[in-house]
Structure 1
C-alpha cells in the first residue's frame, strides 16, 4: 500500500470539469503511467467504462470470476457483452486467477498453500502444486479469450498482490509474469472511506504518482461506503493529463513488452 503525507488537491472542481470537456491527445514526450483494474462487484464497471471512453484512456484489466452485485460472476454470461465492448475499445486483459486464489505460504516440495475467495472452494485452505496454480491462472485467461475474442497478455496479478520469490519463479516458469503496482500506484479504493475519503485519495495520487508507475483500482469494492469510482477516476485522469502524463497499457510497459512480444 502507498503511504505519504496528505495534501489539498491543487486543481479546483471547475478546472477539472473544464479540462474534461477538451479534446486531448498525448504529446510524444508525455510521461507514461499504466492504469490497471482488478475485478470486483462490477457495480461501477459501466461508469468506469464511460469515463475511460470519454477520455480515450486505455487500461489493462486483470479479471477473476468474482461475486457481483448483478448477474452471475464477473466472468459470467451476464457480463459477457461488457467485456466484448472493452475489447472493441482496445483495452488489454490478463488473468487475476479464475477463483481469485490467494497465495498464502510456500510449502516443501515446490507446493503452495492457497485460498480462494470465490468459486466452489471459497474460504478453504488448499495445498497446490505449481502446475495447479498455473492452471488456475490459465482458466481465467481462457475465459477472457472466450469472452473478448482476444488473447490475453501472458501476465497475471496474484490476488492481494501476495507472492513469494518461489511462487513468482514457478508461475514465470509456466509462462506468466506477475504484475504488482507501484507504491504511489495504490489508489486506495480498498481503504475505508471514513478514514480515507475520496478527496484525500485524489490529492495523494496527484501529488505522488510518477512516470512509469503502475496504478491499481477495482471494478467495485464491497466494503467501501463512498465508491472510489467513478468519483475519483475522472479528476485523476484529467489531473494527471494536465501534469503531462499519458496512459498506456501494460503491453507497452518496458518491463513487460519484451516478455509479451516473445509470447505473441
Structure 2
C-alpha cells in the first residue's frame, strides 16, 4: 500500500505512473466487442474490503487482488486468520490472486557486487521499518510466501505474477523475480486511481471525473483495500460510479489472466 507522498502527488499531477507494466485480472474473457480494462486491488488496512466486495458482486466485475500480509484495522494482518474467510469468498466468486510480497517489502536500491543483492525495507511484519540486504532467493521467498498463503486460504492457485510495493523496482530485481517464476505487473498512467492521495487536495469527485475522462481500452487500474492516510476514503465511494460510468462508455472488465501481455507467461508457468 502506498502512502500519500511527494511521489504520488507528482504522479497524479503529471498523469503518469512510475511503472506502467501491464497485467490483467478476470476469470472470464472480455466480452466480444467491448473495450477491456483490468481492475486490480492491492491490500491495505482492509477496512473497506467488505464494501468493495459488495460493489464488485453487485456489478458482476471480476478483479485481480495483489496481497501482502499488511497491518489491518482489525484482525491479525490482511493474510491472517481473521481475513481468511473474506479471501475464500472472493475465490468462490471467480476473482484472481497474485503476490504483493509477504511483508509489503519495498525495494530501495541494488547493492554492488555479484550475485545480485538488494536493499529492502518492509512496511509490515517483524522487520517493518528495517533496511535489509536480501539475495535473489530471499526476495523470491517473500513473493512465494504471500502466494502460497493465498493458495492455502482460497484453495485456488495464484497467478505467477507479482506487484512490487510502490511500483519500485530495478531491472535486476525484475530479473530476480522472473528467475523464480514471477512476472511483474504495474499499472497504466490513467490507471493510477488516486486513492493514496490526500483527500483535501484530491477529493473523490475530482478523482472520479479524471478517471472517467482518461481511462483507455487495455488500461490496468490500481486501487487498494483501504488507505490509512486518506481521510475521505476513495473506496467504495468512487468505485461503483467508476464501474457504472466505464460500462456506459462501452468498457468491460477482465482479469489479468486475459491480458495479452501476460497470457503466455501464465500458461508457461502453470497459472
TM-score after normalising by structure 1: 0.91
Contact 1:4-1:204 at 8 Å conserved across structures: no
List alignment gaps of at least 5 residues for structure 2. 1-10, 16-29
What pairs up with 1:126-165 in 2 under 5 angstroms? 126-165=132-171
Structure 1 residues 70-109: Cα deviation after superposition (integer angstroms, max 9, x where no partner):
1110000000100000000000000000110000000122
Paired residue secondary structure (1:50): helix
Structure 1 residues 14-45: Cα deviation after superposition (integer angstroms, max 9, x where no partner):
xxxxxxxxxxxx75100000000000000000
Q: Which has the higher contact order (CA 8 A, sep 6+)?
A: 2
Contact 1:84-1:148 at 8 Å conserved across structures: yes
Whole-angstrom distance in 2 between the partners of 1:98 and 1:126: 14
Whole-angstrom distance in 2 between the partners of 1:63 and 1:4: 27
Aligned to 1:34: 38
Paired residue secondary structure (1:57): coil
Q: Note the C-alpha offset of 1:4.
A: 5.8
Contact 1:3-1:184 at 8 Å conserved across structures: no
Whole-angstrom distance in 1 between the partners of 2:144 and 2:58: 32
Matching of residue 203 in structure 1 with residue 180 in structure 2? no
Paired residue secondary structure (1:141): helix
Contact 1:2-1:185 at 8 Å conserved across structures: no
Aligned to 2:197: 191
Paired residue secondary structure (1:97): coil
Structure 1 residues 232-260: Cα deviation after superposition (integer angstroms, max 9, x where no partner):
00000000000000000000000001100
Q: Which of 90, 98, 103 is the aligned partner of 2:107? A: 103
Q: Which of 80, 99, 108 is the aligned partner of 2:84? A: 80
Paired residue secondary structure (1:78): coil
Paired residue secondary structure (2:173): helix
Flag the structure with larger Rg. 1
